[in-house]
């Protein structure tokens, strides 16, 4: 009974948003800067419904208070299986579009890892390798909170792209709290990037390495992501990570 209740907690219609994505533009952004934005992937109502799940502890497998680990300030919770329908739909419906990019990146980086076309097959691989715990998460920030630059690596199996959806409206629900990324090139100084997200926008970004084309072929650059200090208000984010955790 509790399983049925959990699974139906929040429904949303992600297919139209995914249909509307300009994939050639997205591929271009991902190849040149390692991230891209899908505008308005979720409606304001869907954002509010997902953010509201934060107060239903039975939907989550664990809660992390960032200050206790030196991760920043603020908190997040990892969803438990079965995932709410909306989260499950985003994970399974975005994956098939991202797997070809992941495979192209891995080929360019001379990796022999190949990602299957469907998420279920990739999750089977994670589970067989002992990575069985779900990684989609809901983050919650208040005034003064921030998220240090990090990478969401949870074991040997890593899908190289992940998605974060801003569930609050900048300038209205909160001030500050920008989504920031840094790109570290070999033997060079790091460059910082700020993603201009609005409520309902999704950012797709490299989890760790991505290929960059130089005059002597492709080399690897490393991305990290985080959130600058929230100056006022409240900010929620939904994180969709495609690999599970050990």
Ligand X SMILES: O=C(O)CCC(=O)C(=O)O
Q: How far apart are CA 195 and CA 124, in angstroms?
A: 33
Per-residue string for binding with ligand X, 126-145, x by CB under 6 A?
Answer: -------------x------
170 contacts ligand X (rule: CB under 6 A): no
Residue located via tokens 């072929």? 217
Q: Please state at what angle helix 23-33 crosses helix 85-108, rounded to 10 degrees.
A: 60
Q: How far apart are CA 237 and CA 120, in angstroms?
A: 24
Report how far apart, in Å, the C-alpha atoms of 72 and of each of 92, 146, 188, 227, 230 are: 30, 5, 26, 9, 11
Could you give the 3-state DSSP secondary structure of residue 114? coil
The C-alpha torsion from 197 through 203 and 206 to 207, rounded to 10°, is 90
Q: Which of 29, 31, 48, 152 binds Fe ion (CB under 5 A)?
A: 152
Residue 9 binds: one of Fe ion, ligand X, none (C-beta under 5 to 8 A by kind): none
Q: Give the interface segment with Fe ion, choosing from 48-56, 112-120, 152-160, 184-192 (CB under 5 A).
A: 152-160
The minimum distance between CB 187 and ligand X, in angstroms, equals 27
Q: Which of 179, 202, 204, 223 binds ligand X (CB under 6 A)?
A: 179
**131 versus 237: smaller Cβ distance to ligand X:** 237
Query: Cβ neighbours of residue 130 under 8 Å, at least 6 residues apart?
Result: 155, 246
**36 versus 147: smaller Cβ distance to ligand X:** 147
**19 versus 55: smaller Cβ distance to ligand X:** 55
Q: Which of 158, 202, 212, 227 binds ligand X (CB under 6 A)?
A: 227
Residue 227 binds: one of Fe ion, ligand X, none (C-beta under 5 to 8 A by kind): ligand X
Report how far apart, in Å, the C-alpha atoms of 173 and of each of 71, 136, 236 are: 23, 23, 10
Q: Give the interface segment with Fe ion, choosing from 25-33, 37-45, 148-156, 186-194 (CB under 5 A).
A: 148-156
Residue 139 binds: one of ligand X, Fe ion, none (C-beta under 5 to 8 A by kind): ligand X
Could you give the 3-state DSSP secondary structure of residue 210? strand
Residue 237 binds: one of ligand X, Fe ion, none (C-beta under 5 to 8 A by kind): ligand X
Radius of gyration in angstroms for the set of CA atoms belonging to the chain, rounded to a whole number? 17
164 contacts ligand X (rule: CB under 6 A): yes
10 Å Cβ neighbour count for 25?
Answer: 11
The minimum distance between CB 74 and Fe ion, in angstroms, equals 12
Per CB under 6 A, residues contacting ligand X are: 139, 147, 152, 164, 179, 225, 227, 237, 239
Contacting positions for Fe ion (CB under 5 A):
152
């Amino acid at each position: 009974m509790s399983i049925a209740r959990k699974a139906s907690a929040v429904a949303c219609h992600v297919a139209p948003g995914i249909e509307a994505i300009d994939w050639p533009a997205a591929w271009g952004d991902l190849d040149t800067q390692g991230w891209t934005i899908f505008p308005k992937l979720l409606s304001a109502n869907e954002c509010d419904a997902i953010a509201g799940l934060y107060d239903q502890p039975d939907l989550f497998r664990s809660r992390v208070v960032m200050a206790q680990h030196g991760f920043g300030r603020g908190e997040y919770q990892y969803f438990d299986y079965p995932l709410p329908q909306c989260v499950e739909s985003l994970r399974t419906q975005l994956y098939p579009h991202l797997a070809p990019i992941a495979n192209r990146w891995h080929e360019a980086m001379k990796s022999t890892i190949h990602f299957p076309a469907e998420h279920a097959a990739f999750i089977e691989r994670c589970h067989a390798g002992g990575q069985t715990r779900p990684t989609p998460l809901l983050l919650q920030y208040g005034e003064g909170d921030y998220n240090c630059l990090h990478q969401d690596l949870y074991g040997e199996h890593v899908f190289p792209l992940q998605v974060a959806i801003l569930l609050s409206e900048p300038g209205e629900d909160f001030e500050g709290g920008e989504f920031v990324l840094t790109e570290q090139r070999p033997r060079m100084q790091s460059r910082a990037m700020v993603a201009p997200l609005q409520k309902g926008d999704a950012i797709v970004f490299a989890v760790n390495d991505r290929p960059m084309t130089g005059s002597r072929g492709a080399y690897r650059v490393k991305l990290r992501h985080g959130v600058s200090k929230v100056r006022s208000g409240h900010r929620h984010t939904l994180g969709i990570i495609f690999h599970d955790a050990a």
